[in-house]
Amino acid sequence: MGVTTTTTLSDSLLTQALAAQYELLVANRDALPMHPVLQAGYKGSVNMRASNVIKVPLVGLLGYDVAAGVGENVAVAPTDVTDSSYTITVTRHAKAYTATDLAKIVDALGILDPATLAADAARSSAIRWTDLVCDVIDGFSTTESHTGVDLTTAHVLSALAKLNALPSATGPAIGILHLQQWGDWMQDLGTAVGGALQFTPATGEVINLRGQAYQGSYLGVDWFKSGRVVSANAGADRAGAVMCAGAIGWADAIVEAVDSNQVSIGGKVLFERARDGLTGNTQYVSSSFMGVSKAQELGVSIISDL
Amino acid sequence: MSHTPTIASATSVAPSAVPLQSSPPFYLVARPQSPYGWMVMCGRVVPALRKLMLVEGANGVSTGRDGAGRPAPNPRHALDDARERGEVVVPWDVDGPGTSYIRRVPNTNAWVTRWETAYAGTDRVTTDSEGYAQWAESLVTRGIVPAPPLYALQTLAADRQAIAVREALKRPDLAAGAQAELAVVRALLDRLEPAVLPVDDAPQVALDGEAVDEPAPAPAPRRRR
């Protein structure tokens, strides 16, 4: 007497059925928000400026050169205005997906839906900007370096003392640490015999404003964690930073959609569809234009064990 | 009696690739004149090398063309900026023609130093810290990076001492590590300090602020009453 099982019914069953929803692969998706320290570094767009390189003059006025005492009836020697500069090179950052017509037809989850890919383009661009910031902040001359040692409160306090000792390092400050650095510091903060310094963890409302990377405030510094923070010392460590306004400068380009196959996302990301009817392929291309440079020594790189 | 369990079928999935986050190629850059340009690693005082990432858009790196006409990062501005700040960009082939201190992990877009090892199926990377510290120290002994100035070593010693004191109560383990690093820096300082030039050549300054040629007479010692 035959028994019907899933094995005998193999011609009528699928070996696997798709779940109704897909889940995102694990990745470092948290982008830095427009914190005031980062906003202060924005030097505009390169649109209509005849170059993709912006030169930012650094001028020694308003207290850089101070008056000197001069004797009576002695001519004062004229002083040259001290100046310097740094540059920001704006380049294209792009990504493209190509899908066949058949793949789009059978896509049951909307993975190849243009709106999904447009959202992906916007997030990717923001993360790329975070990458550029992280590629720069390990380069401050002043460092708090503890290779092979987990980050502790003492290290953070020392970094903040060095930051406060830098001329012109005033106003709000931002700290950006690697996930591991953050975890190490929180372990130290939470378990070691402590002082009276209060860490204020991020609340839901503030996370809504500043994004998931925001962790809280400590000694007036807004702390963010990011998996994009670069490694140091042959991968043994990570190099985050704490910095004030003026530490980094950045620039971008405003993009406009010029035909019906293009969309400008927030004026920053150009998302477009390119159709190749001969092959039955559709390309979804996103482009943004930005550049980040270290500006002045108004930050401290924090290097600790990975 | 068999100790091997029976399973329906063996897996046919290939070994997983290295799931490393992509990271661009880079130069290592020393800041020998910076008070914070040095560190203690594996018992050695070595230059604290930073990465100059070859990422278009970061620190003045632009898009250029390689020898075959393909798009490639052009770091000219970034390299010029670094040298203008007195930094030393360590060339990839510093150890001889055909060598490099960076390499790309196969089947990834991740560039790492040659002292890093990646493993299939994990994003964990291990580091041969001893090998790296030896190499970083050799940059100084080979004359590629100038020796640390005295003030940098003094800053490093003060830094380690401060950490050792601060951690003494809370984290004795870290205090001991900082003490050990301090001993390394002090040993080097002890060797170097006698070679410091006295400041005989500094101009003597009169009270009105104008430099005078003759050395001012030494002040008479004050007597305590």
DSSP string, A204-256: HHHHHHH-TTEEEEETTEEEEE-TTPPEETTTTEEEEEEEETTSEEEEE----
The pLDDT mean for chain A works out to: 92
- Of A1, A119, A9, A51, which Cα lies nearest the Cα of A291? A51
A-proximal residues of B, 143-162, CB under 8 Å: 159, 162
Residue A306: the pLDDT is 84
* Token couple for A40: 């202060």
Q: Where are the beta strands (DSSP E) in chain A?
A: 42-45, 53-59, 83-89, 91-100, 142-146, 173-177, 199-201, 214-218, 221-225, 231-232, 237-244, 248-252, 262-265, 269-276, 281-294, 299-305
CA distance to partner chain A, nearest, from residue B223 (Å): 33
Name beta bridge partners: A241: A176, A301
Interface test with chain B among A66, A135, A252, A290, by most B beta carbons within 10 Å: A135
CA distance A165 to A68: 24
- Of A98, A229, A234, which Cα lies nearest the Cα of A176? A229
- Of B138, B21, B156, which Cα lies nearest the Cα of A235? B21
Express each pLDDT in A104-119 by its tens digit: 999 999 999 999 999 9
Cβ atoms of residues A184 and A253 within 8 Å: no
The model carries a pTM of 0.86
Express each pLDDT in B88-123 by its tens digit: 999 999 999 999 999 999 888 899 999 999 888 888
Choice between B103 and B8, residue whose per-residue pLDDT is larger = B103
Q: With an 8 Å Cβ cutoff, is B182 touching chain A?
A: no
CB contact under 8 A, B62 and A52: yes
Q: What are the boundaries of each domain within chain B? A: 26-141, 150-195
CA distance to partner chain B, nearest, from residue A96 (Å): 17
Cβ atoms of residues A292 and A129 within 8 Å: yes
CB contact under 8 A, B129 and A234: yes
Given the structure tokens 């897909």, which residue do they identify?
A: A22
Residue A122: the pLDDT is 95
Interface test with chain A among B33, B53, B132, B165, by most A beta carbons within 10 Å: B53
Residue A126, H or E segment: helix A114-136
Instruction: Please say if the pLDDT value at position A287 is more than 90.
Output: yes
Domains and CATH numbers, chain A: 36-63+79-305 (3.90.1690)
Write the ipTM: 0.85
Q: At a CB cut-off of 8 Å and minimum separation 6, what does A215 contact? A: A182, A201, A202, A223, A224, A225
Express each pLDDT in A68-114 by its tens digit: 899 999 999 998 999 999 999 999 999 999 999 999 999 999 999 99
CA distance A39 to A55: 18
